[in-house]
C-alpha cells in the first residue's frame, strides 16, 4: 500500500479512467493510442510509429526521476489510451505540475480527460496537501488551453522562449494554475460535469 503520495505514482480509479503507474508493458497499447499526428502536434516528443518507438517513449518517461508518470487506462476497454504525469514536484512549496499529457484522439472531449484531471487534482490537494497545481502549454496549442480553462485553472502568464519545440523553434509557454482555495469549487464543478 502506498504510504507517501509525494514519493511515487499510485493507482487512481474512476468510473471512466484508471491511472496506473506507467509500466513498460503499456507500450503496446500506447502505440495503438498514438492514433493521430494531431495528438503530438504540440508535444516535445514524437508520435511513436513502431513497437520500438513506443517502448522507447515509455522508457524515456520511466528513466526520468523528476516525473511521476501514469498510463491513462480506459475502464471500459481496459486499454491504455494515453499518458499523464506530475512534474516539478516540490514538497517544500507544496506544488506540482500536471503535464506531458496526451490521449488518443478518439477519447478527446470524452469523460476520460476530465476524470483523469479530477483524480490528479484530488490526489494533489486532498492527499498531498498541495497549495498550488500548475499546467504549462504551448502558446500555439489552443485546444489544450481551452481544456485547461474548462477545468477551472487560471491563466497566469506567458513564459517567452521557454522551451524548444521538436523542430528547433522556441516555444512561448502559457502558464495556468489552480490553488487550494479554488479547489473545492472546481471539484464540485468537475463532479457535476461527470455526473
Note whether residue 31 is domain-resident.
Answer: yes
Is residue 113 in a domain?
yes
Is 89 inside any structural domain?
A: yes
pLDDT at position 5 is: 83
185 is in which domain, residue-wise? 12-194
Is residue 50 in some structural domain?
A: yes
Total count of domains within the chain: 1
Q: Is residue 5 part of a domain?
A: no
The answer to whether residue 3 scores a pLDDT higher than 60 is: yes
What was the pLDDT predicted at 139? 97
pTM, two decimals, is 0.95
CATH number for position 174? 3.40.630.30
**Helix pair 111-122, 142-151: axis angle to 10 deg:** 60
Contacts of 35 (CB under 8 A, 6+ apart): 104, 105, 106
Residue 4 lies in a domain: no
| Weakest mean pLDDT among 51-55, 86-90, 94-98, 107-111 | 107-111
Buried b (16+ CB within 10 A) or exposed e, 173-184: bbbbbbeeebbe
Please give the mean pLDDT across all residues of the chain.
95
Is residue 2 a part of any domain in this protein?
A: no
Amino acid at each position: 500500500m502506498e504510504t507517501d503520495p509525494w514519493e511515487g505514482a499510485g493507482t487512481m480509479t474512476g468510473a471512466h479512467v484508471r491511472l496506473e503507474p506507467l509500466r513498460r508493458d503499456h507500450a503496446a497499447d500506447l502505440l495503438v493510442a498514438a492514433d493521430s499526428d494531431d495528438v503530438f502536434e504540440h508535444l516535445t516528443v514524437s508520435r511513436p510509429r513502431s513497437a520500438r518507438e513506443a517502448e522507447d517513449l515509455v522508457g524515456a518517461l520511466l528513466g526520468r526521476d523528476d516525473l511521476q508518470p501514469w498510463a491513462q487506462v480506459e475502464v471500459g476497454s481496459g486499454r491504455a489510451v494515453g499518458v499523464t504525469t506530475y512534474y516539478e514536484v516540490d514538497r517544500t512549496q507544496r506544488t506540482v505540475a500536471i503535464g506531458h499529457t496526451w490521449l488518443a484522439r478518439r477519447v478527446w472531449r470524452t469523460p476520460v480527460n476530465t476524470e483523469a484531471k479530477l483524480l490528479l487534482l484530488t490526489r494533489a490537494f486532498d492527499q498531498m496537501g498541495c497549495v498550488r497545481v500548475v499546467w504549462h502549454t504551448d502558446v500555439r496549442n489552443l485546444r489544450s488551453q481551452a481544456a485547461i480553462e474548462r477545468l477551472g485553472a487560471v491563466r497566469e502568464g506567458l513564459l517567452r522562449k521557454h522551451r524548444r519545440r521538436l523542430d528547433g523553434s522556441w516555444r512561448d509557454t502559457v502558464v495556468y494554475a489552480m490553488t487550494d482555495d479554488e479547489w473545492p469549487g472546481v471539484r464540485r464543478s468537475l463532479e457535476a460535469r461527470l455526473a
